[in-house]
Amino acid sequence: MSWDVIGTGAVASVGGSAPEIFAALCSGTRGLAELRAFPPGRYRARAAYEIDDRETPGRDEPGRATRWLKAAIAQALGEAGLDGAPGGLPVLIGTTLREQRTAELWWTGEAPLRPEDLHFGTALAGRPGVGLSHTFANACAASLCALALGTDLIDLGEAETVVVAGTDSIAESVFGTLDRVQNAVPTALLPFDRSRRGMLPGEGAAAVVLSRTGLHPERARARLLGVGTNCDARHPTAPTPESITAAIHDAHRRAGVGPADIDLVMLHGTGTPLNDVSEARALTEVFGAPDARPLMTAVKAVTGHTLGGSGLLSLVMAMLALERGTVPPIAGLEDPIEEVAGLGLVAGEPRRAALATAQIDAFGFGGINAVAVLGAGAAA
């Protein structure tokens, strides 16, 4: 079983479209800047990967996660030629925080709040091509979990085409929590580098239009081969290599591929001490001998950790990598940690390669893991 990707959209701190974000990845241009959403003097960390779209500098605005969600979905539907689909398509949205920042602004008296505005469906209702929406809060694996549910809807005959999306903005409560629980103070997000000090959040949204295979063959840009998910609930924050390994094997089984078939891995790569080591150990276990290991890269050094939408953003970037035969480097990776020795991490300059199949990793707090496998083009 497989499903065609017929439309994509993305917004992040480094670009307002998927091609712009991919170009930033290839050039190593980062969206890192001093905090804009709230006064940086309150916290040890002073920077984040924010989208600079506020009308008044230094004054935050409500509804920004919804704004980017609408933009990414509009891009994806437009590319798919379905922005006027009669009756609208089901929309499955993965998120970590929904509009938590909007609630914070209401609490501090800086913005009004209607309870219905906290539900993305309110903003999406009546938009061209959009039908009933469903929101899933599966931590940082949310958008790939939503992707798995989208394949289920198609397989069960509930829909022939679905929209899957993810979005998050930076909330002060979450930024403050991270600032307190991380021992070191990160000044940038540096996945798999010895100098990494932890995670910094980013902002953005991503969307794909997924259809039953062969329904729109002229529009198929990639083929989703399978999505594996699990939740071990073993620890509130610490990832478990065994569970990550199990999710990868499940994704490969569903996709009908083996480790030797994977040409590219889009790493979760949060730059935290535990995630990077756990992910590296799982990948070493799965891919075995060094000469059989795929190329690997990660986007968060450029975009920051975009939370619930991060998995889907990596998937859209993977699709562009497959189309262009180009793997962007991991920005800032100069001194890799010992655990990635022998893995094919791309650093420095983009790598040209023949790419047919990509694996996309997304792991969240609470042991929520999701892994997707993507094939190049409709014939993959």
Neighbours of 125 (CB within 10 A): 14
Per-residue pLDDT, 303: 98
Q: 288, 341 in Cβ contact below 8 A?
A: no
Least confident window among 111-120, 192-201, 219-228: 111-120
Q: Which two tokens stand for residue 110?
A: 């800086």
pLDDT in tens, 289-342: 777 789 999 999 999 999 999 999 999 999 999 999 999 999 999 999 999 999
pLDDT in tens, 38-93: 988 889 999 999 999 998 887 899 999 999 999 999 999 999 999 877 778 999 99
Per-residue pLDDT, 292: 73
Q: 63, 192 in Cβ contact below 8 A?
A: no
Look at residue 189 and tell me whether its pLDDT is greater than 80.
yes
Question: What is the rounded average pLDDT of the residues 153-170?
Answer: 96
Query: Could you list the active site residues?
Result: 140, 268, 305
95: domain CATH number is 3.40.47.10
Q: What is the pTM of this model?
A: 0.96
In the chain, the number of structural domains is: 1
Distance of CA 185 to the CA centre of its chain: 24
Question: What is the rounded average pLDDT of the residues 157-168?
Answer: 97
- Give the domain range for residue 142: 3-376
